[in-house]
Chain A
Amino acid sequence: MPTGPQPSEWLRGVLELCVLRVMADGPTYGYAIAGRLADAGFGDIKGGTLYPLLARLEKNELVIVDWRTGGTGPGRKYFTLTDAGRAELEHGLTRWEAFSARVGVHLAAGGDAFVHSTHSSRSSA
Chain B
Amino acid sequence: MSESPGVQAAPQEVWERPFVRAHQEWCSAFVLELRLRDVPGPVIGERLGEVEGHCTETGEPPSAAFGDPTDYAREIDAESSPERVSGVWTIAALGAGQVLAMLVGTAAIRNWASGEPLTYNLVQLGCLAVVAAALLCLPRVLRPLLAHPWVVGTALFAVVTAAGVGAAAASGISSATVVPVSPAVIAIGLFMVVLALSWLEYRELTGDSADDLVTSPLAPEPRANRAAQRSGWITLVPALMVPTYYLAVGIVFWVLG
Supposing A52-B79, A55-B79, A69-B219 touch, asked if A76 and B3 sit within 8 A by C-beta, the answer is yes
Residues of A within 8 A of B19 (CB): 74
Considering only CB atoms and an 8 Å cut-off, how many residues of chain B contact the other chain?
37
Q: Is B217 an interface residue (CB 8 A)?
A: yes
Known: A47-B51, A58-B81, A77-B217. 11 other contacts (CB 8 A): A31-B57, A46-B66, A47-B58, A59-B80, A66-B5, A73-B53, A73-B57, A75-B49, A75-B219, A76-B3, A76-B53
Kindly specify which of B6-14, B132-140, B240-248 makes contact with the partner chain: B6-14
Would B58 and A75 count as touching, CB distance under 8 A? no
Q: Is B1 an interface residue (CB 8 A)?
A: yes
Residues of A within 8 A of B60 (CB): 47
Nearest to A65 among chain B residues (CB) is: B46
Give the distance to chain A from B49, nearest Cβ to Cβ, in Å: 7
Q: Is A51 an interface residue (CB 8 A)?
A: yes
Residues of B within 8 A of A54 (CB): 50
* Between-chain CB contacts (< 8 Å), 14 pairs: A30-B50, A47-B55, A56-B79, A58-B80, A67-B9, A68-B3, A68-B4, A70-B1, A71-B1, A73-B53, A74-B53, A74-B218, A75-B218, A78-B3
Q: Is B25 an interface residue (CB 8 A)?
A: no
Residues of A within 8 A of B66 (CB): 46-48, 51
Supposing A59-B81, A67-B218, A69-B9 touch, asked if A74 and B4 sit within 8 A by C-beta, the answer is no
**What is A's interface to B at a CB cutoff of 8 Å?**
29-31, 34, 46-48, 51-56, 58-59, 66-78
Give the distance to chain A from B221, nearest Cβ to Cβ, in Å: 9
**What is B's interface to A at a CB cutoff of 8 Å?**
1-9, 17, 19, 46-47, 49-58, 60, 65-67, 72, 75-76, 78-81, 217-219
Residues of A within 8 A of B1 (CB): 70-71
Nearest to A56 among chain B residues (CB) is: B79
Would B53 and A29 count as touching, CB distance under 8 A? yes
Residues of B within 8 A of A30 (CB): 50, 53-54
Would A52 and B75 count as touching, CB distance under 8 A? yes
Nearest to A57 among chain B residues (CB) is: B79
Would B76 and A55 count as touching, CB distance under 8 A? yes
Report the separation of the CA atoms of residues A72 and B78 in the bound assembly, to the nearest whole angstrom: 31
Would B56 and A73 count as touching, CB distance under 8 A? yes
Residues of B within 8 A of A46 (CB): 65-67
Nearest to A50 among chain B residues (CB) is: B54
Nearest to B217 among chain A residues (CB) is: A67
Report the separation of the CA atoms of residues A59 and B47 in the bound assembly, to the nearest whole angstrom: 13
Report the separation of the CA atoms of residues A80 and B6 in the bound assembly, to the nearest whole angstrom: 13
Nearest to B2 among chain A residues (CB) is: A70
Interface centre among B3, B55, B75 (most CB of A within 10 A): B3
